[in-house]
């Protein structure tokens, strides 16, 4: 069953229930604004602190956009790209695309003009929908991308090179277009994170989207009474697929356009959020804000908050230990997945396994896992190998890239490129990315293990370990460390701290600097290699 049918069911069963709320902390709070009030005033999301829509309005907006697309010649199998910051329009546009039988193609909001152009071409995109934050970038390439594509603009003051989304959909039918969809039909193209060079296009079927709904609800038990706080970008599979649990349960979600601890806690308190998905940097910022006294828990209504979960990158056990000290009643879960496996849930810890913090868990709902050697054979338990996963959420292929597809898909198994080990209880622990392993003097060093240790130092805010070229050892481990504000620590003190590690795991070099992370929280190690290894960005990207 395609997920569009879930939306239509919710619109019939809970027509007047609020399903989505958008909060913009950068705007002074005045009062709540419904979608109808918003349309009758000025169509500018930046002027409102809070907007909301109901399930019936959500479905109506999706239908109007679908019918508008079809009136402009969009047919089943076409591709429609979305280049928007998180906003109340995002998901109705996504579902409107699916209702036509076209493929939704979300784009990373950090893409530069050349990357936008590259992705549009790679995915054979027919329509681009973009917002005000991207006018300059799209205008730079408009002459090249508009020759064979429709450009629709969401916002006020539509630029001359695009058509106005609001005026176009206003007079379109709100009835479902009635396009017949099957589980095997192509549904969406997502892009790899781009931390290893230009992104690859990942093709998913409707079956995969539906499976991600089931996985999310099976893992986190969303009920109608739950309220999900969504902060990460919706273009990424992680945010959207976690929201799919709200879709399946018919429950409310809050889109927060900000990551400051104060804004997060105000949203949780005001909207009575019960489930919050955080990235590691935000969780770290929250703990430090509480530690400094910037956040006073007594100022907020947090009793209903039942679950905090993290994904998208390895989670330092020290972070969760501190979190549980402050929030002992919180359930905690971590989820592992890739865009190639429709995002989170291929492996998950499970709220009942808090004693296994540090592991990513076991195979998720409907998934299988194995850890293999370079020949594809399972390794013995306790040995490091590459994690492979199998299930209904695995991509169909890398679109227009047969070679890359054949490198990672083997008899329906997806080779993840992540090195992992299974403990005596069958729990999987990530060791590192296959390409991030440092080979120093013949020993394999796994940066995540060194990073986890250094993070236990109270002065450290963030850390990344990379390999630097060395004539004698081949590579040595270098730790780039970002300190907490007002902390002063010397290289010698860090080296002394690291003596608790086995000698071969100790970093040979300490560098104090900021740690770059992408919008999904992953450390951008190619950038660090470019800076500190003296290699070109292309070489750095090929490495990592």
> Which pLDDT belongs to residue 20?
97
Six token digits for residue 472: 């004698």
Answer whether CATH 3.30.1360.200 is correct for domain 4-220.
no
CB 255 within 8 A of CB 88: yes
pLDDT tens-digit readout, 357-374: 889 999 999 999 999 999
pLDDT tens-digit readout, 369-402: 999 999 999 999 999 899 999 999 999 999 999 9
What is the Cα–Cα distance from 253 to 229, expressed in whole angstroms? 6
pLDDT tens-digit readout, 131-174: 999 999 999 999 999 988 999 999 999 999 999 999 999 999 99
Beta strands in 248-330 (DSSP E): 252-256, 275-278, 307-311
Distances (CA, A) of 90 to 21, 65, 411: 12, 11, 35
CB 416 within 8 A of CB 389: yes
Q: Identify the CA nearest to 134 among candidates 124, 145, 123, 125.
A: 145
CB 64 within 8 A of CB 97: no
What is the Cα–Cα distance from 63 to 47, expressed in whole angstroms? 26
The topology (CATH level 3) of 437-543 is GMP Synthetase; Chain A, domain 3 (3.30.300)
Q: Is the pLDDT of residue 503 over 90?
A: no
Q: What is the pTM assigned to this prediction?
A: 0.83
Q: What percent of the chain has pLDDT over 90?
A: 71
What is the Cα–Cα distance from 35 to 133, expressed in whole angstroms? 21
Q: Is the pLDDT of residue 403 over 60?
A: yes
Q: Is the pLDDT of residue 30 over 80?
A: no
Domain chopping of the chain, boundaries: 4-220, 437-543
What is the Cα–Cα distance from 255 to 87, expressed in whole angstroms? 7
pLDDT tens-digit readout, 72-105: 999 999 999 999 999 999 999 999 999 999 999 9
């Amino acid at each position: 069953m395609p997920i569009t049918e879930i939306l239509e069911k919710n619109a019939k069963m809970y027509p007047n229930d609020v399903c989505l709320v958008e909060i913009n902390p950068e705007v002074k709070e005045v009062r709540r604004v419904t979608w109808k009030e918003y349309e009758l005033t000025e169509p500018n999301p930046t002027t409102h602190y809070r907007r909301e829509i109901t399930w019936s309005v959500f479905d109506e907006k999706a239908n109007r956009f679908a019918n508008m697309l079809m009136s402009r010649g969009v047919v089943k199998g076409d591709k429609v790209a979305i280049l928007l910051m998180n906003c109340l329009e995002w998901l109705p546009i996504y579902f409107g695309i699916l209702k036509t039988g076209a493929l939704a193609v979300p784009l990373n909001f950090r893409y530069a003009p050349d990357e936008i152009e590259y992705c549009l071409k790679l995915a054979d995109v027919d329509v681009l929908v973009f917002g005000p934050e991207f006018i300059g970038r799209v205008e730079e390439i408009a002459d090249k991308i508009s020759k064979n594509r429709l450009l629709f603009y969401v916002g006020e003051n539509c630029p001359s090179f695009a058509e106005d989304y609001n005026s176009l959909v206003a007079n379109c039918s709100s009835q479902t277009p009635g396009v017949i969809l099957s589980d095997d039909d192509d549904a969406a193209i997502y892009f790899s994170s781009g931390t290893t060079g230009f992104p690859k296009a990942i093709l998913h079927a409707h079956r995969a989207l539906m499976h991600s709904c089931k996985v999310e609800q099976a893992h986190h038990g969303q009920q109608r009474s739950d309220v999900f706080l969504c902060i990460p970008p919706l273009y990424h599979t992680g945010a959207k697929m976690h929201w799919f649990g709200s879709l399946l349960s018919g429950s409310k979600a809050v889109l927060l356009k900000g990551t400051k601890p104060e804004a997060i806690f105000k949203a949780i308190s005001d909207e009575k959020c019960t489930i919050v998905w955080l990235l590691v940097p935000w969780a770290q910022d929250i703990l430090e804000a509480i530690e400094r006294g910037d956040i006073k828990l007594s100022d907020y209504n947090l009793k209903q908050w039942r679950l905090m979960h993290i994904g998208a990158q390895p989670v330092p056990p020290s972070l969760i230990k501190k979190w549980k000290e402050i929030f002992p009643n919180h359930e905690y879960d971590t989820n592992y997945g890739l865009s190639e496996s429709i995002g989170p849930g291929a492996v998950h810890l499970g709220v009942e396994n808090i004693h296994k913090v540090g592991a990513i868990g076991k195979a998720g709902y409907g998934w299988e896992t194995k850890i293999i050697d370079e020949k594809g054979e399972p390794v013995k338990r306790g040995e490091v190998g590459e994690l492979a996963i199998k299930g209904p959420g695995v991509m169909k292929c890398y679109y227009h890239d047969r070679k890359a597809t054949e490198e990672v898909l083997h008899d329906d198994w997806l080779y993840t490129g992540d090195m992992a080990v299974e403990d005596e209880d069958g729990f999987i622990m990530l060791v590192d990315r296959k390409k991030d392993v440092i080979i120093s003097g013949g020993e394999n060093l796994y940066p995540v293990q060194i990073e986890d240790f250094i993070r236990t130092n109270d002065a450290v805010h963030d850390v990344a370990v990379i390999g630097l070229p060395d004539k004698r050892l081949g590579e040595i481990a270098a730790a780039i460390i970002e300190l907490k504000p007002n902390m002063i620590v010397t290289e010698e003190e860090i080296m002394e701290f690291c003596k608790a590690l086995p000698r071969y795991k100790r970093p040979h070099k300490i560098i104090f600097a900021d740690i770059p992370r992408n919008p999904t929280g992953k450390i951008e190690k190619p950038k660090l290699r470019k800076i500190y290894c003296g290699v070109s960005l292309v070489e750095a990207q090929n490495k990592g």
